[in-house]
Amino acid sequence: GELKAAESALEKACRADQKPARACYQWGRVLQASGRHEAALQAFAAGPRGGIDAATLTARALSLEALGRYREADDAYRAALAE
């Protein structure tokens, strides 16, 4: 119910030309909560600056870790710390 509605609204906002700054991040977090980590990675990458900020990099690392992509997760965690 509510999670699906949030996902739909955030996806629409993220795909808009004039996207709100955190729409893609929030969409990715909803996808993570649904266990859809590959889709979450795509949502994070669609954000402003390609999702390169500490919060998005950390969330990205969580999805990479969940997918067993530990080397990439480590890189994302390190990049988040450098931000």
DSSP annotation of 49 reads G
| pLDDT per residue as tens digits for the range 42-76 | 999 998 777 689 999 999 999 999 999 999 999 99
Encoded tokens for 79: 């990049």
Which pLDDT belongs to residue 81?
Answer: 96
Residues 6+ apart with CB under 8 A from 80: 54, 55, 57, 58, 61
DSSP annotation of 16 reads S
Tokens 């993220």 -> residue = 14
Q: Assign residue 69 a region: left if phi > 0, alpha if psi is -120 to 50, beta otherwise?
A: beta
Which pLDDT belongs to residue 74?
Answer: 98
How big, in percent rounded to 5, are the helix, strand and coil portions of the chain? 75, 0, 25
Which pLDDT belongs to residue 1?
Answer: 76
